[in-house]
Amino acid sequence: MQSNLFDTVPGFDWKHLKSDTTTRYADYIDHRKRLLETLTRLEDTNQKCFKVVAEGFTSYGRRDNIFCVFPTVIIRYVSDPCIPNWYDIMFHSLGSHALQCFKLSKLSENQTIHNVVQIFQSFDASIQKQFELSNQEMEERMEALETELAKYKGIVENCRKEISSYGF
C-alpha cells in the first residue's frame, strides 16, 4: 500500500469496541476471535486509516456514516446521539487503486458497509481486468517488435557481410 494512502490516526475507544464485539458476536466464536485479534493488532500498532464521511440527516438532525478504512478492515460507525457507539466491522481485500478511489469518493448516508465494499470490490475487479488486458496487449506488441527486430538484425548482418566482401 502507498504510504500516503493511510494518513489519519483513528480516535477509537478500543476498549469499548473490543468489549462490544465480545458481546455482539458471542455465538460466532471464530468470527469474534478474528475480529478481536484484528482490533488488537490495529490498536497495538497504532495503525493508520483514512476516514470517508457519508453525510446525512434524519428528522431529528444530522446523522453521518463514518467509514474508517484500514488496510484490511473497514469500521463504520454512526454519528448519531440517539444511538451512540453503534458500529459494524467488515474485512476487505481491496487493492490500492480501489482504496484510492474510496478515499476520494462521495457516499450517500444510506450506504451500508456491505454495499460500499461490494461497489469498490467490483471496481477493483474491473481495474485488475484492465491491467491484465493491457499486460496481454503489451506482450502481443513485444512479440511483433521482436519479429521486426529479428528482420532488421538479419538485414544488418547481410549488409555487414556485403561490406566485408568489398575488402575494407
**Which tens digits make up the pLDDT trace of 22-61?**
888 888 889 889 999 999 999 998 888 999 988 877 666 6
Rounded to an integer, the average pLDDT of 118-128 is 83
Segment (H or E) for 18: helix 14-24
Strand runs labelled E in the chain: 50-54, 57-58, 61-62, 64-69, 73-79, 87-91
Residues in contact with 56: Cβ distance below 8 Å, sequence separation at least 6, in sequence order: 62, 63, 64, 65, 108, 109, 110
Give me the phi and psi of 25, to 5 degrees please: -110, 35
Q: Predicted confidence band at 3 (pLDDT cuts at 50, 70, 90)?
A: low
Q: Predicted confidence band at 148 (pLDDT cuts at 50, 70, 90)?
A: confident
DSSP state of 49: B
Domain count, the chain: 1
User: What is the reported pTM?
Assistant: 0.68
Q: What percent of the chain has pLDDT over 70?
A: 92
Owning domain of residue 10? 1-168
Q: Predicted confidence band at 168 (pLDDT cuts at 50, 70, 90)?
A: low
Rounded to an integer, the average pLDDT of 7-13 is 75
